[in-house]
Structure 1
Amino acid sequence: MVRYGDPGAIDWIESGGGPLIVIPEESLSAWRGADGEDWKDYDRACAVDGHVGLIAVGQSHALVLGFDPASTAFLPNPGAFVRWIAADSEEELLDSVEGALASVVWEETVTWDVPGPVVLLDSACPGGGVHEDERLRVEMAAGRYRVQAAEVTPAPRTTLCLVQFVPVT
């Protein structure tokens, strides 16, 4: 069994200061980010108010992870992004996820139609030119998902934001 905190088990994506974005892989090349003089896509991502929001990209929508430019990882089980707001260590943060999920009161919810695998990256990066180590590919089955988000503080020195995907049947 792989524990979340095992070395190399978790890949974290960071931002240069703006929001992170989750883009359907099939629409990745349509995302311009803050490329050259054209910052329209990045500006749209920055305009999202809240933990999560949807914006049009190509023929689909992308999910903006707003508020804090926190380091973010995806945990396949429970199907959630974990955003590192505060913790003394990665192990401490990841060890608190299960308890946080058991007691969380979801603050925001959006419904997202996902066409298949998605890619997490800094919203300033153009999708077509983002380097492998600056993005995280997440296998997702095509379908409709309820995306629920909340910031939780499971311990006095640990705060994280959870963004969980729940299939809508």
Structure 2
Amino acid sequence: MVSVWVENEGGPLLVAPESELAHWGGSTGDDGPVETWGDYGRACSVRGYLGLVDVGGQQALVLGDEPAPTTYLAEERMFLRWVAADSEAELIEAGQRALQNGVQWDEDEGLMWVIREPVVLFESWLSGMELEPDNHLVIDIEPGRYRVRATGLSDHHSGAILVQLQQTSDVGDAGGMPRAV
């Protein structure tokens, strides 16, 4: 099965371009309002399952809403976020089955994201230069423009958030899709 699930302490996860990690400062440790929490505060400002934030000269994907362990299924181009399940195998099967059966994507949860290089999934409160050795995942995704869509899934004893990347040939405007914060 999948070997790496990225855990988080309650805040959002970040999927950042590998070459831009030095530009992500994580949390300032400030106890004030979210606006004073540095880059982590920007990630926390994302509402819902998805958002984009600027990191260096590119954008990073914020996986918000639930502090859920998350992995990436390469064949499905999907981040699988573990909300409830008895086993990893059960959760993965539920996610794959949902895709095969034509899952209904949340209409309010979608954006366009340009990927130019491998990306790294990690806990957003950390600096990009202080990644935990066993708690991040490097993902080599084909460069291109991707439609990112998400939905919650409840299937018998499993609960998950599915976030799928769908490569598109659209080179025009993002069609009203959200941009970085």
Fold-level match, TM-score > 0.5? yes
Who is 2:62 aligned against?
A: 64
Q: Structure 1 CA distance, aligned partners of 2:97 and 2:29?
A: 43
1:46 is matched with which residue: 41, 44, 47?
44
Who is 2:179 aligned against?
A: none
Deviation, 1:127, is 0.2
Deviation, 1:35, is 4.2
- Is 2:12–2:124's contact at 8 Å kept on the other side of the alignment? yes
Deviations 1:63-104 (A, max 9, x none): 000100100000001010000011112121112122111331
Who is 1:94 aligned against?
A: 92
Q: Structure 2 CA distance, aligned partners of 1:146 and 1:95?
A: 23
Who is 2:130 aligned against?
A: 129
User: Which 5+ residue runs of structure 1 have no aligned equivalent?
Assistant: 1-5
- Is 1:114–1:143's contact at 8 Å kept on the other side of the alignment? yes
Who is 1:20 aligned against?
A: 13
- Is 1:96–1:154's contact at 8 Å kept on the other side of the alignment? yes
- Give the structure with the larger strand fraction: 1
Report SS of the residue matched to 1:106: coil
Report SS of the residue matched to 2:6: coil
Who is 2:80 aligned against?
A: 82
- Is 1:109–1:148's contact at 8 Å kept on the other side of the alignment? yes
- Is 1:21–1:122's contact at 8 Å kept on the other side of the alignment? yes
Q: Structure 1 CA distance, aligned partners of 2:29 and 2:13?
A: 19
Q: Structure 1 CA distance, aligned partners of 2:29 and 2:80?
A: 31
Who is 2:177 aligned against?
A: none
Who is 1:161 aligned against?
A: 161
Matched, 1:106 2:99: no
Residue type matched to 2:16 in 1? I
Q: Structure 2 CA distance, aligned partners of 1:134 and 1:12?
A: 7
Residue type matched to 1:72 in 2? T
Residue type matched to 1:146 in 2? R
Aligned identity (percent) is 42
Report SS of the residue matched to 2:43: helix
Report SS of the residue matched to 1:94: helix
- Is 2:4–2:135's contact at 8 Å kept on the other side of the alignment? no
Q: Structure 2 CA distance, aligned partners of 1:90 and 1:124?
A: 26
Deviations 1:48-71 (A, max 9, x none): 001110011110111000100100
Who is 1:3 aligned against?
A: none
Report SS of the residue matched to 1:88: coil
Alignment RMSD (CA, Å)? 1.3
Q: Structure 2 CA distance, aligned partners of 1:62 and 1:10?
A: 23
Deviations 1:109-146 (A, max 9, x none): 10001111000000001001113212100001221100
- Is 1:35–1:126's contact at 8 Å kept on the other side of the alignment? no
Deviation, 1:160, is 0.6
